[in-house]
Amino acid sequence: QVQLQESGPGLVKPSETLSLTCTVSGGSISSYYWSWIRQPPGKGLEWIAYIYSTGSANYNPSLKSRVTISVDTSKNQFSLKLSSVTAADTAVYYCARHVGGGAGAYDYWGQGTLVTVSS
Amino acid sequence: DIVMTQTPLSSPVTLGQPASISCRSSQSLVHSSGNTYLTWFQQRPGQPPRLLIYKISNRFSGVPDRFSGSGAGTDFTLKISRVEAEDVGVYYCMQGTHSPITFGQGTRLEIK
C-alpha cells in the first residue's frame, strides 16, 4: 500500500520561504507524476505543481514565479518550496500521486499538513 | 484557465434517496489523446480527498457501485444511487486535460 507523508514547518513568517517534503513509502517514486495541492481553511482545492520522477515539472502559472518543485529518487521524496509567502498562502498542503500520467487523477494522497503564515 | 462550475453547491438528501452533482467546464475536456480527464473526489471532514471516479466514468478500486459518473465534452455528472450516511462530505470535480489543473468549487452533500 502506497503511503505519502508531508513534513515541514507548520508556521512560516511572511516574506520567508515555505519548504515541504513528501516521503513516499510502500512503492517507488519512479515512473509516476507527483503533485502538490493546497486547500486554504474552509475553501477549495488549488493545484500548485507536479513533477515526474525524472525531474520534468509543470507549474500553475498563478504561483510559478514563487514555486520550485524537486524530486530525490534516492530518498523516494519530492519537495516544494514557495517563496515570499503571505497570509494568503496559509493552507493545508497535500502531496498526491497521479495515476495515468500528468493529466490523470490522484489515487494516493498524504494526510496533509497545515502551514500557517504569520509573524 | 479552465473554470469548473459545480451545481448545486449544497445538496440535502434523504438517506436511501439518489443524489446528483453536475460539473460544467468552460472548455471541452477532450484531450488530444482522445481521453477526457475528468475526475471526481470525495472529501470527508478532516480528511484528504478520496478518488471516486476517473476519466468521466471509471470507478476507482474499492469505490461502491452506487457511485457513477457520466458525461462528455463540457458537461459531467456524479450520481449516487442511494445515499448512505458515510457519503456526507464535499465532492469536487477536477480537470487534468488542460494546464493548469483546476477543480470545481465543491458540492456539500448533507443528510436531511
Which residues of chain A are modeled with pLDDT < 50?
Answer: none
A114 reaches B (C-beta below 8 A): no
Q: Residues near A33 by Cβ (< 8 Å), separated by ≥ 6? A: A50, A51, A52, A53, A97, A98, A101, A102, A104
End-to-end CA distance of chain A: 39
B79 reaches A (C-beta below 8 A): no
pLDDT on residue A55:
94
CB contact under 8 A, A47 and B92: no
Q: Residues near B42 by Cβ (< 8 Å), separated by ≥ 6? A: B49, B50, B52, B87, B89, B90, B91
Whether A15 and A88 have beta carbons less than 8 Å apart is answered as: no
pLDDT on residue A103:
82
Place of cell 471526481: B40
CB contact under 8 A, B54 and A62: no
pLDDT on residue A53:
94
Please tell me the distance from the alpha carbon of residue A69 to that of residue A21, in angstroms, as a whole number.
10
Q: What is the least distance, in Å, from the CA of B101 to any CA of chain A?
A: 6
A87 reaches B (C-beta below 8 A): no
CB contact under 8 A, B101 and A47: yes
Provide the residue-wise pLDDT of chain B in tens; the chain has 112 residues. 999 999 999 999 999 999 999 999 999 999 999 999 999 999 999 999 999 999 999 999 999 999 999 999 999 999 999 999 999 999 999 999 999 999 999 999 999 9
Which residues in chain B have their CB less than 8 angstroms from residue A62's CB?
100
Which chain A residue has the Cα nearest residue B54?
Answer: A105
Instruction: Tell me whether the omega of the peptide bond preceding residue B8 falls within 30 degrees of 0, making it cis.
Output: yes
- Residue B42 is placed in which grid cell? 470525495
